[in-house]
Amino acid sequence: MGVWGNLYSDSLSKLDQVTDLKILANNLSEIDSGAICANPSLKKFELVLGPETSLQKLTKSHFHNCQNLEEVSIVGIYKNSSTSIEKGAFEDLTNLKNLNLANLEIPHLTHNFFKNLNSLTHLSVRKCGIEKLESGVFDDLKNIEEIAIFFNKFTTLPENLFKNNGKAKRVVLFSNNITDLTWDEFAGLDSVTDLLIGRNSVAHFDAGKIAKHMPQLRELNMELNPISCEEIEQFAKELTSKLNHTVKVTHMSDPSAPNSCIYQ
């Protein structure tokens, strides 16, 4: 904790038995190429930036020789982050299973941002100021089980966003600024059981398309979207009928009444 200045290429080179590394509350200004995985046995890496950090961008070179990493968590400065991630920064991490990014500056999730992450099973990107998701951004995540993109700024989803994510079981799109949906954006999610799309501005929920694209759906959280409890009740009945199994649909119209508008 409390690291300042440079993380040099040989700073961690003697830690050849270490598999988990956490650098917390630090104020790094630079990380040399290969410094993180000077010990190639590293499997888990967590970086939490402090308020005085001047680290501007993490790039592919920072993760040189990190092919054995299985878990990566990078957390920027809360409310005032200027640290970004280069597109393709993780493309050599072919064994990566869990990736958590938070409080970073990623305004545009572009195609190839998650390039080559075929082993990834859990992805979380929160409070990164995402304004746009590009079609194809999740194409390489063929083994993904959970996609959580929440507390961001995008208003729409591109079509075929999830076309290669047939193993996903949980999708979290909580508290973004999503407005209009055709619901064809969710094509390909044949295994999804949980969809959390609450605290957006979605006024239309299409039971037919939801049932078509997510036939295994068991729980739908749509709280605090602009739709009435009466509409939700009718929608929940229609969705259950089309899926031919029980679905828990939650819509909290009043934050002080946590049990309002729950249909099962």
pLDDT tens-digit series, residues 164-188? 999 999 999 999 999 989 999 999 9
Q: β-strands 262-263, 248-250: how paired?
A: antiparallel
pLDDT at 251: 85
Mean pLDDT of 182-200: 97
Residue 262 is predicted with a pLDDT of 65
Rounded CA-CA distance 121/94 in Å is 12
Mean pLDDT of 224-247: 92
In this structure, what token pair is assigned to residue 43? 């499997």
Asked if residue 143 is part of any domain, the answer here is: yes
Does the structure show a pLDDT above 60 at 120?
A: yes
Domain membership flag for residue 242: no
pLDDT-based confidence at residue 2 (cuts at 50, 70, 90)? confident
Which pLDDT does position 252 carry in this prediction?
73
Q: Is the pLDDT of residue 201 over 70?
A: yes
Phi, psi dihedrals of residue 211, rounded to the nearest 5°: -65, -35
Q: Tell me what percent of the residues of the chain surpass a pLDDT of 70.
A: 95
Neighbours of 165 (CB within 10 A): 22
Is residue 81 over pLDDT 70? yes
Question: Can you spell out the DSSP letters for 43-98?
Answer: -EEEEEE-TT----EE-GGGGTT-TT--EEEEE--TT----EE-TTTTTT-TT--E
Residues 2 and 131: their CA atoms lie apart, in Å, by 32
Structure confidence at residue 258 (pLDDT): 55
Output the CA torsion sign for 225, 226, 227, 229: positive
Q: Is residue 204 part of a domain?
A: no
Buried/exposed code over 32-68 (b: 16+ C-beta within 10 A; e: otherwise): bebbbbbbeebbebebbbbeebebeebbbebbbbbeb
Q: Is residue 235 in some structural domain? A: no
Q: What's the pLDDT at 91? A: 96
Residue 210 domain-assigned? Answer: no
- Whether 158 shows a pLDDT value over 70: the answer reads yes
Q: Would you state the pLDDT for residue 64?
A: 93
Q: Distance between CA 104 and CA 89 in Å, rounded? A: 14
Domain that holds residue 41: 4-192
Task: Give CA separation, 135 vs 13, 112, 113, 187, 213, in Å.
Answer: 40, 10, 11, 13, 17
CATH code of residue 43: 3.80.10.10
Q: Is residue 262 part of a domain?
A: no
Q: How confident is the model at residue 134 (pLDDT cuts 50, 70, 90)?
A: very high
pTM of the model: 0.94
Average pLDDT over residues 117-125: 98
Tell me what pLDDT residue 264 has.
55
Q: Cα(178)–Cα(228) distance, rounded to whole angstroms? A: 18
In this structure, what token pair is assigned to residue 123? Answer: 């992805």
Domain count, the chain: 1
How does the average pLDDT of the chain come out, rounded? 93
- Check pLDDT > 70 for residue 254: no
Residue 261 maps to a domain: no
Domain for residue 218, yes or no?
A: no
At 74 the pLDDT is: 97
